[in-house]
Structure formats: structure tokens, C-alpha cells
Amino acid sequence: MSERAPALSPSRAADFKQCPLMYRYRAIDRLPEPSSAAATLGTLVHAVLEDLFALPAASRSEAAAIEMLVPRWERMLTDRPEYAALHETEAAEDQWLGDARERVRTYFEMENPARIEPEGRELLVEFQLEDGPLLRGIIDRVDVAADGSIRIIDYKSGRSPAPAYGQKERFQMRFYALVVERLRERRPALARLLFLRDGVHIDLRPTDEDMAAIEHEVRAVWRDITAAAERGEFRPKKSKLCGWCSFQALCPEFGGTVPPIDADKVEAAVGVRPAR
């Protein structure tokens, strides 16, 4: 299987803006990171909501979704046996599954899936910006109304951000709105994030200003990424978020040593080779 072309996704753009060295370790070196219970819970809930829409509309009940959780979790354990180490005791696993059930219940307070027929679920989208990066991502759900209006829906298993924050989430919404608009030659009427921990949603109704701003931003981020790749240097950027980083042992801000960069990996990920 051939490698995918270098591209920019919302998550990798956010990584670079947070810390270029973290971006390098994830996007270029592709270093393994330990699974977390929180991230795996999100994976489980996303999978159940995707499966839910495979059922006939009349069968998309809260009870049916909750019944899917344990079988889907068992399938995940079969595919990824290392997930078994996420929970030290059976009681901890039961509590974790209880948290997943609460996310599903909250989803049903926010939407009635029996009234929705998605056009796409876990939809891979790609668009090549002229003289810019290839944009790539996976949209949780795309709905298209009878009049052709488009809604982009994304599920978040965590809590909604405080009003002063949420820049990462808004960037993602605008990013996907831009890609969908370019692919379908029609601007989405709505991009909505559903936060399943606290039942809050954030809406974006994209404007000309939103589309111009996000295109400018993704081009600027990609220019910065390619400049770092040409230098062969992705510098660390210390912040309050470092406490959640998996790469502290390889970060000079924490006494670690950055390994030599692999020019072939840089070229594969970014499309340019380091000058040195």
C-alpha cells in the first residue's frame, strides 16, 4: 500500500500550533503514544453512534445504543489487546463503561437519531488548496436536507470549553466547512459540535469572513510547517499543556534529548526535505 500524500488535518494543525516538536513526533516520526482511558472512551462512543445510524430509523433508540456498548468494547479489545491495561480493576472498567453510557444518554437528549438520515458517517474528506496544502480529515457525520442544505456534525466525548477557550474546536469547524464547501461547491449551513459530557453544543454558521480567515490560517500554518521541515528543526514550545504530553522524555524543556531527524520521514510527511 502506498503512503498517503502529505496533508494537513485539523488535529495536526493544532499540534503544530501548540508545539512544533510535538507535531514532529506525531506527524513525522509517528512515535507510539500510550492509550488513555479518556481517548478510548471517545473512540468507543463514536463507534456506537456510527453503528446506531446503520440501524433502521425506528430502531435507533437509547436502549439499542446502550446495548451496543459492551459488544463494541469487546471488539475493540480483540483488535487492540493493549486496551485491557487501561483499567486496573474490573470495577474501574465498569465505572468507565458507565461513563460511556452517560455519554450515550446525553446524546439522546441532544438529538433524535430516528429523524436523521446522514449522507455520510466517519467521512474521509480531502481537498487540494491551490498553491497550498492538501486538506484532509474525517467528519463524524454529514447531513443533507431535502433542500440541499448541508450540516456538519462532530461528537466530542469531553466537556465543552469555557467561553475564553475553544479556539481549537472553532478551527476544526471552520476547517471542515472550508473543505466541504470546496468539494461540494456549496457552503454548509451549519457546523455543530456536540459535547456529550455536559450536553452543550457549539454552532458555527459559516460566513465569507469565516472562510477567508480559515483559508488564510491553514496556509500560514502549512508555510510554518514546511519552513521548519526545510530547516530540519521543530522547536519545543512550553505551555500549560505540556503536562499532558507523551513526549517529555524526548523534550529538551524537560531534560530530554531530541533524536536526529530522518529526512525521508520529513519528506513523506511534509513533502520537502531538510536542507541539512
How many Å apart are CA 234 and CA 84, to the nearest integer?
34
What residue has cell string 488564510?
Answer: 216
What is the residue-wise DSSP string for 102-170?
HHHHHHHHH--GGG---SEEEEEEEEE-TTSPEEEEEEEEEEE-TT--EEEEEEESSPPPPTT--HHHH
Q: Which residues contact 160 (CB under 8 A, 6 or more apart)?
A: 166, 193, 195, 197, 198, 200, 201, 202
Q: How many CB atoms lie within 10 A of CB 195?
A: 21
Predicted local confidence at residue 233, as pLDDT: 96
Predicted local confidence at residue 1, as pLDDT: 35
Predicted local confidence at residue 3, as pLDDT: 61
Q: Which residues contact 60 (CB under 8 A, 6 or more apart)?
A: 52, 53, 113, 114
How many Å apart are CA 198 and CA 191, to the nearest integer?
19
Q: How many residues does the chain have?
A: 276
Q: At what angle do helices 208-231 and 263-270 cross, to 10 degrees?
A: 170
Predicted local confidence at residue 223, as pLDDT: 97
pLDDT digits (tens, 9 = 90+) for 9-63: 999 999 999 999 999 999 999 999 999 999 999 999 999 999 999 999 999 999 9
Q: Where are the beta strands (DSSP E) in the chain?
A: 120-128, 134-144, 150-156, 190-195, 200-204
Q: Where are the domains of the chain?
A: 37-115
How many Å apart are CA 8 and CA 222, to the nearest integer?
7
Predicted local confidence at residue 164, as pLDDT: 72
Residues of the chain with pLDDT under 70: 1-3
Nine-digit cell string for 6 = 502529505
